[in-house]
Amino acid sequence: MAETDNAIFKLHGRQDEIALAQMGAALILAWPDLDADLQRDLLNTAENISGVPREMKIREIVDRLVRAHDTHRQK
């Protein structure tokens, strides 16, 4: 998704929020294995999604979460 696009995401209740949290956690765990271009595209998309709560420091938080849960470095 191009960074200039503005995706609209609709949540339909608590189950959707939980599913997004699960997918988000899975994405954080897989992050180190993703191509840098894909990482950049995902962050750009995350910054431009409407319909979910927004976090202005998304890049800093993702970086912190990846470092805290990077199983490649913990071995």
pLDDT digits over 23-45, tens only?
999 999 999 999 999 999 999 99
| Cβ neighbours, 10 Å, residue 33 | 8
Q: Which residues contact 69 (CB under 8 A, 6 or more apart)?
A: 28, 29
Model confidence at 62, pLDDT cuts 50, 70, 90, reads: very high
Q: Quick one: what percent of the chain has pLDDT higher than 90?
A: 61
Between 5 and 43, where is the model more confident? 43
CB 49 within 8 A of CB 18: no
Q: Give per-residue pLDDT as tens, 63-73.
A: 999 999 987 66
Q: The pTM is what?
A: 0.79
